[in-house]
Amino acid sequence: DGGITQSPKYLFRKEGQNVTLSCEQNLNHDAMYWYRQDPGQGLRLIYYSQIVNDFQKGDIAEGYSVSREKKESFPLTVTSAQKNPTAFYLCASSIDPLGTQYFGPGTRLLVL
Amino acid sequence: ILNVEQSPQSLHVQEGDSTNFTCSFPSSNFYALHWYRWETAKSPEALFVMTLNGDEKKKGRISATLNTKEGYSYLYIKGSQPEDSATYLCAFITNAGKSTFGDGTTLTVKP
């Protein structure tokens, strides 16, 4: 089945630790996105990538890093510089940068 | 940060009522306006992609209109059903491919 997967479903981070959230798609989409959702708020764009080996900062990129070495993968690292990482993280992809986005199931990150 | 606003924040209606929500967005650098439906415990799913001023789209009982000159889009649901209960999100897409979502309108339809 074609789709977009995220792992893990839940992730726990200790103080000062970097953690990486996985996002994989087999839809052959060029564009991929990372969003963060906090309670009572909508989706805020962290990073997006329109093509392999290229990515741009979204509205809340500080404390996060990404890579796009393969078309199907767009991992997000939450660094120790992100002081308030507890949130729900959604990954999405689209066939091109302007098209409908397809979302993964999300990862909930909690701080121990 | 672009300002995309949705109203109302939440809405409670009776089964059979018709309802509508608003998405307001900047009138510059517009490329597209997306509507998504997000049900609890599921991922957001696309409803409509709207690109042209005056666009009207329809899917079953749900329809949407777009006014890019004044920067707003309306989503209408005719004869609401309990299964329409969800959060409805709009996303403003710039011609550079950047997406900005509103905070959503949460609809609850009571049987």
- Is the four-CA dihedral B76, B93, A2, B86 of positive or negative sign? negative
Question: Within 10 A of B25 (CB to CB), how many other CB atoms are there?
Answer: 25
Tokens 């993968």 -> residue? A73
pLDDT value at A1 more than 70: no
Cβ contact, residue pair B104, A42, below 8 Å: yes
Chain B nearest CA to A74, separation (Å): 16
Mutate to test the interface with B, among A4, A43, A57, A94 (most CBs of B within 10 A): A43
Establish how many alpha carbons lie within 13 A of residue B33's alpha carbon, considering only the half-sphere containing its beta carbon: 33
Which of B31, B44, B100 lies closest to A45 in CB terms?
B100
Chain A nearest CA to B108, separation (Å): 16
Q: Is A42 or B88 the better-scoring residue by pLDDT?
A: B88
pLDDT computed for residue B37 by the predictor = 97
Which residue is closest to A59 within chain B, CA to CA? B1
Chain A nearest CA to B99, separation (Å): 7
pLDDT computed for residue A83 by the predictor = 86
Distance, in Å, from the CA atom of A98 to the CA atom of B71, rounded to the nearest integer, reads 18
pLDDT value at A94 more than 80: yes
Which residue is closest to A42 within chain B, CA to CA? B103
Distance, in Å, from the CA atom of B101 to the CA atom of B2, rounded to the nearest integer, reads 9
Which residue is closest to B90 within chain A, CA to CA? A42
Tokens 């890579």 -> residue? A67
pLDDT computed for residue A2 by the predictor = 66
Cβ contact, residue pair B44, A50, below 8 Å: no
Q: What is the mean pLDDT of each run of 10 residues along chain B (111 residues)?
A: 91 97 92 95 95 92 96 97 97 92 96 94
Q: Tell me, yes or no, if A101 comes closer than 8 A to chain B by beta carbon.
A: yes
Q: Tell me, yes or no, if B13 comes closer than 8 A to chain A by beta carbon.
A: no
Q: Which residue type sits at B37?
A: R
Q: Tell me, yes or no, if B60 comes closer than 8 A to chain A by beta carbon.
A: no
Distance, in Å, from the CA atom of A41 to the CA atom of B22, rounded to the nearest integer, reads 16
pLDDT value at A31 more than 90: yes
Distance, in Å, from the CA atom of B18 to the CA atom of B12, rounded to the nearest integer, reads 11
Distance, in Å, from the CA atom of B85 to the CA atom of B104, rounded to the nearest integer, reads 13
Cβ contact, residue pair A100, B34, below 8 Å: yes
Residues of chain B in contact with residue A99, where contact means CB-CB under 8 angstroms, are 49
* DSSP classification of residue B82: G
Distance, in Å, from the CA atom of B100 to the CA atom of A41, rounded to the nearest integer, reads 13
